[in-house]
Every structure is written in structure tokens, then in C-alpha cells.
Amino acid sequence: MRKFILGVMAALAALVPMALVAPGASATLAAKSKPPVKLSGKVNNKGTADATGGTIELDQSDFSFSPTFVKIPAGVTSLTVTVKNMGQHQHTFTVASQKIDKVLNPGESVTVTVNVPGPGAIGFSCRFHKSQGMQGAFFDKNGAKLISSTGAKSPTTSGSGSGSGSGGYGY
Ligand SMILES: [Cu+2]
């Protein structure tokens, strides 16, 4: 009796590695798990989509962006990005390198223009939940490096007061 059970378990154990080696399955897994852009910290990866025609819709949930990575077509210099908060929590769409920071309550949406200053990747995140993996990036090709800051045309009316930054959203 005991010998029989051991025999069944051995047979099962032998089956498992064969299933893992099935060529189709492993190839799909590898493609899905490898993000096109390396971001620091946790990333809840919900996949990659093309910004066809320079436009893309990003759906926010608790706590990720879908798609998480957006491929910029060749020749596109600015993206029209519509962000929808489909979650139960308040989120932001934040592009730190371009001073974009929109707060979205559940059910809200917003459309913003993201500049494409050159080759590379542009990171975005939710300011509230970035550390929980709520971030992603626009990119031109696999392995693209993050463009840290555009610097180009940002208004230099910085003022030394501390009140101009985060308090002024008209929501
Ligand atoms: Cu969030």
C-alpha cells in the first residue's frame, strides 16, 4: 500500500518538469515577464501597447497602469494621453521630468500632452502609489533608457515661495 502511494507520487513528480519544458508555454511567459524599460522600484506590469497615431489611453486601477508600457511610433514628437481612473482610490498621472501632475478621483479622466524630447523612455507614475508598483513608461525601443529631464521649454517662473507647488489644484 505504502509502496503504491510512493509510486504514484514519483510518477506525478516526473510529469511536472515535462509540462514546464513545453516550448510554447515558456516562450510566452518569457516575453510577458520582461519589461521593455527598466524602472527602479516595483512595477505592476500590465503589458505593453502602441501609441498608434500618437494617442493612447491609460487605465488606472488599484494599483497599476494598463498598459504599463507604451511604445512611441517613429516620428512622433508628442503624445496625446488620456488617463482614466477606473479604481476605487484617488490616483495621479505624474510625469516628473515634464512637470505633469494630474490628480484623478475615481471615475475621472483627463487628457494631457506628453512631449517626446528625443530617443529614450519617459517614466510616469502615480505619486501616491509609486512605491506599490504603480508606474510605467513611454519608450521608443526595447531597452530604452529613461530621459531624466527635458529642461527645454519649462517656464522659469519658479519663484522662491513654497506655496506654488503642490497645493494649487483646482479640484
Ligand atoms: Cu495611485
Of the pLDDT bands very low, low, confident and very high (cuts 50, 70, 90), residue 17 is very low
Given a contact cutoff of 8 angstroms between Cβ atoms, the answer to whether 102 and 65 are in contact is no
Phi, psi (5° rounding) for residue 25? -65, -45
Amino acid at 145: K
Q: Which three cell numbers stand for residue 112?
A: 494631457
CA of 24 to the centre of ligand 1 (A): 35
CA of 21 to the centre of ligand 1 (A): 38
pLDDT of residue 34: 84
CA of 132 to the centre of ligand 1 (A): 9
* Summary mean pLDDT of the chain: 80
Strand order across the 78-85 sheet = 64-66, 55-61, 78-85, 109-115
The per-residue pLDDT for range 68-98, each reduced to its tens digit, is 999 999 999 999 999 999 999 999 999 999 9
CA of 15 to the centre of ligand 1 (A): 42
CA of 141 to the centre of ligand 1 (A): 26
Section 31-39 average pLDDT:
80
Q: Measured between alpha carbons, how far is 111 from 119 in angstroms, rounded to an integer?
A: 23
Tell me what percent of the residues of the chain surpass a pLDDT of 90. 66
- Per DSSP, the residues of 106-171 read TT-EEEEEEE--SSSEEEEE-TTTGGGT-EEEEESSTTPPBP----SS------S-STTSSS----
